[in-house]
Chains A and B, each alone.
Chain A
């Protein structure tokens, strides 16, 4: 019988949902970034969870991919935080609703 990592996936899904909700609801840019991190980690969790189901190299893929993901996430977080700092310095605020320069 194929092993389905149900609980892990549920957890990953819940984490993803929380992350998504955070991104969409929160106005503070910090929280948006945190939400993105959360979503990334939820995806990593799901990768790892599935690695149990597959055997051989496919199974290992499920553990190697998150490693890449974490590294990239870290880099992205750095860049994101740096940009956040720059934005805060120029705009004095981190309220995303106030960043409306790109409208028509």
Chain B
């Protein structure tokens, strides 16, 4: 199956959504749900295709010896990310009902657009193509925050946009520099990842370090890591919960993906040299996120710092370069993607009931809506990493690799996440689900059937992967960091360009 279909599907869905009726919200909901399920189905196909690559077509030839290619490639890891995105979109649209009201159409269009961008990121083969999609994601994400957010949304949307742009500009400059260098030295260069990797081997190591740093910054802002995380808590908290769920569930993973697909394969020497720096950075992020989360008074801020913490550990583990770590990161990406976003979805529903984001304004949700409480508790436990959920497999593998490479004390520091994550998560659970109700008795606080139906498969998946993580472990194969999926792609020279030469 042509991967372009996977990319086109959400784009088409986005456009179609704009033609839906604005007034009839029921039919809009049905239509968007249908579209999202179809797109989700298409997104799942790459999982079964093994490694596939479309042809690399030469897209642009700005200068004689510089060519920018276009191609899509999927291997195990990308396929899972694409599938994750696909699965989360229907849930997002379904749970957004309470938050966006009449504007579901616009919301869905923005979400589909973001999905397209994300799919593009995960399947891109060319560096500039990747960058394009990477930046494109920012547009719908900002729209989501600015259009559907809370009171402070303008400021937060701007903060998010400017921060992310500032972070990715160094990457763009690096690409530009490489192109300029190629033109200057008359070396033929095409910007697909494999060629860039080979080109970088010829670059002066001093310069290459700066390129490495520039590329890393973009993804460090995306993850994010401390101290580049300032945009995150506000953005996740101020935007619509269903949108923030996608931000934490998939967009943040682009950060990890960027390291795995671009930074480490293109800069193997620098990555190995500076691995310790990234491990320390990751662990500091993990600890900071956990400790700050303990003090937060808004539900989604707790969850935001929780994400910070979990992904920080992922970054640290990644830079051990062990096969167990890679597998662990893959499992983390899927497990955290499912559990963190589900918690956001549910938080959004709860916030709709109590009209407040403050953790003290909930209370006794277990009594008022048992189904909600069960689901929330299950996802919370999954994020804490109870054995039997995929989160445990991820944490176990990551801890193991950190111990293997760096010894007992690092493992203990990293392992403290076991205790801290339990601390802030259980605090959240206690405040939201248990205790006595501080909110007014609201009879409208029953978990709606549609939202429950779309959320339940997520928890089933989490438990299933907890016991049978095999497919995920296979996706994290050992040469993930060294062999690029486009390495063996067939390059198609455009006839007109070939003639012009």
Is there a contact between chains A and B in the complex with CB atoms less than 8 Å apart? no
Measured CB to CB, the residues of B under 8 A from A are none
Chain A residues within 8 Å of B, Cβ to Cβ: none
